Structure 1
């Protein structure tokens, strides 16, 4: 086991406050495809298991007994590789203690409460309330990325930059969204990526206003926005980047809208310092975006008041970002002890916590012309005085702009891990 993994386990053991309880973390098992083809969905160990082992191991279980010490109390149990797995898959035995010995380990500790994380064995008597408390502490503790994790995110960011460098010259009228996806992801792989970190999003024209649009065969037209949200994954750690381009020559309105989003993104990045409250950062970014829309004549009124009225959600319906690392929203959620803010405008905000050094977050403001929102009669009535509706109607097919970078919070100025991917046309 590497020294960095040992240090990670020790740090987590100290943070979990298990007292005399046992910790059992399971990797999970492959899920069979439904058509009886003797195939499974691609297997990925549960993130909580992977964080403690740095490996994929179907059926693996890692346990911890605090009585045995923060460094020596960990045992990794792994299933024995079968002959069929060796023959058909070329699988090799994973290092660790035979999974059959888990029952004896547990029997020797009979009567003690068990916290189960990941996908623990189904036959264990898991303490649900204890597990929920430990999961909250575990999730919070692993928000701070260690040096090894940051190195993997940097590598994923570099592979992502290579893919976007391949993509950018290809964005022109006549190309299809699907063709762009193929070249982008090929660029990731050529630069060392294991896989795309999540389903690649590429939307052109009106599709650029669909927040999670799956690339289609639609071909780009001259003067259209092309929104690309994608990231490479290396050893389970990933980047998450969005850039918005124009196929051909942008209009003045498109340039102005893009500049509003870019300015808001750059100001939000500068706010990513230790102690900054994520919710306050989100709302400040919403004010910046609304200020831009007021200057463009799209909205009317004082920006702070418009955000208080939740009018910004017409054009900025999502949160300003989330955590990223071991998963596309790794570690997002609430600060321990906090409750979800009930305001409707914050229902899509993925975090409510103060930032700390070692956190890696996305900053991804956006402005969109989304017909289902902007043609809704109830919204039009509610925000009648807040919006220049005739101008909005002229731009219903404009699509949208999102710009997203991955930011490492440090003890000093924030570091943009994806700064190598150009944002200016």
Structure 2
């Protein structure tokens, strides 16, 4: 594990938040996963996020251990496998700092009889206490939600690299350019700007493809009047940005222009609501009302926006949550507040995050409106919401695609939130 001031302070802060007394904690990095073709290759290794957060290393097979009953300077211990000659020759590995992994058994034997929590990828051959493990995992997850200064610095670097990628793509948004070409240029620009890679699989969808929430780019070329939805983010030392922009290619129809304007206005209002103590579910529902209000004004929906959202009619066009946490990986530490069960309310069932916001939280804000045939052509939905939608108008625009606009914001103690990705333009064309 890294013995830098950042990680020493982080481990001390986390130990205080966990409040362990007699419990012993192990956090495993995990092991490489072989490729299926029976070669000696593996998928790219990423240490389990709980290990990486505490140790700062990408070390296959490693663990860190914590014993609250040891003197403060010796409570955290790193155990690492011995690097083999083959690993040195074929992979260029060097020996990471830490005690030999073979000494872990003796370390645990001296602590036999005490509750054991095992996070990350648990070590093989040990039987952790499941209740203790679940409790400690929830505590660590909640503690990780507040990003420290080091994490925010990495996220700002990832945001700068992401902005460079979107800047490189902007001049290429024209008829005849393929989704795949845009992906290539975007990701290359991320790397040129200092990214270590992409934060997740890049989404580039044109025309009706823009309505597929996780669309993988194809050879399809952009056509005049298409929506083009790009959802991508750069990674720096595992810290990622998650950004979406939607363009109108070439000629802009009034319907597409209005749809984009509705989403953009809802996104900017939602960002302004991201203040300490605000409930994320309330921000989501307010954004849903804003989106439905726009659809009513466009003639797509009918009724009072608040009533339509209460009926979950907005999920016809806005089928996902407003956003999620982001940091050490996409959707980092998302979930519910401690002790809170996931909502069964149909208007909230797709939320990935459900908790009050606090300073240091980094959130995506990503409202969207889509014309998704599997949802809008479903007979049960058409029957349930027969009076809430102009279905003839919907059918005329069924293959228009969709709009999503997404930024990454930091909740601050005082004042409005910081938008890490504000430098990336949001205009439709």
1:328 and 2:359 correspond: no
2:114 is matched with which residue: 109, 112, 115? 112
Corresponding residue for 1:182? 184
TM-score for the superposition, normalised by structure 1 = 0.99
Corresponding residue for 1:270? 272
1:287 and 2:281 correspond: no
Q: Deviation string for 1:138-197 (max 9, x for gaps)? A: 100010000000000110010000000001110111111111100000000100111111
Corresponding residue for 1:200? 202
Q: What does 1:178-257 correspond to in 2, within 5 Å?
A: 178-257=180-259
Distance 2:6 2:145 in 1: 16
Corresponding residue for 2:36? 34
Query: What stretches of structure 1 of length at least 5 have no aligned partner?
Result: none
Distance 1:361 1:96 in 2: 35
Corresponding residue for 1:366? 368
Distance 1:53 1:277 in 2: 32
Q: Give yes or no for contact 1:316–1:367 (8 Å, CA) kept in 2.
A: yes
TM-score for the superposition, normalised by structure 2 = 0.98
Q: Structure 1 residue 111: deviation in Å?
A: 1.1
2:422 is matched with which residue: 392, 400, 419? 419
Corresponding residue for 1:5? 7
Of 2-11 and 298-307, the range deviating more from structure 2: 2-11
Corresponding residue for 2:86? 84
Q: Give yes or no for contact 1:173–1:222 (8 Å, CA) kept in 2.
A: yes
Distance 1:6 1:108 in 2: 25
Corresponding residue for 1:392? 394
1:53 is matched with which residue: 48, 52, 55? 55
Q: Deviation string for 1:12-35 (max 9, x for gaps)? A: 111112221000000000011111
Distance 1:222 1:353 in 2: 42
Of 339-348 and 402-411, the range deviating more from structure 2: 339-348
For this pair of structures, how many residues does the alignment match?
A: 425
Q: Structure 1 residue 344: deviation in Å?
A: 2.7
- Any idea what SS the aligned residue of 1:76 has? strand
Distance 1:33 1:344 in 2: 40
Distance 1:19 1:363 in 2: 39
Q: Give yes or no for contact 1:10–1:71 (8 Å, CA) kept in 2.
A: no
Distance 1:199 1:211 in 2: 12
RMSD between superposed Cα atoms in Å: 0.9
Distance 2:398 2:72 in 1: 58
- Any idea what SS the aligned residue of 2:160 has? helix
Q: Structure 1 residue 379: deviation in Å?
A: 0.6
Distance 2:288 2:61 in 1: 45
| Distance change (3 Å), C-alpha of 1:415 and 1:252 | same
Q: What does 1:123-142 correspond to in 2, within 5 Å?
A: 123-142=125-144
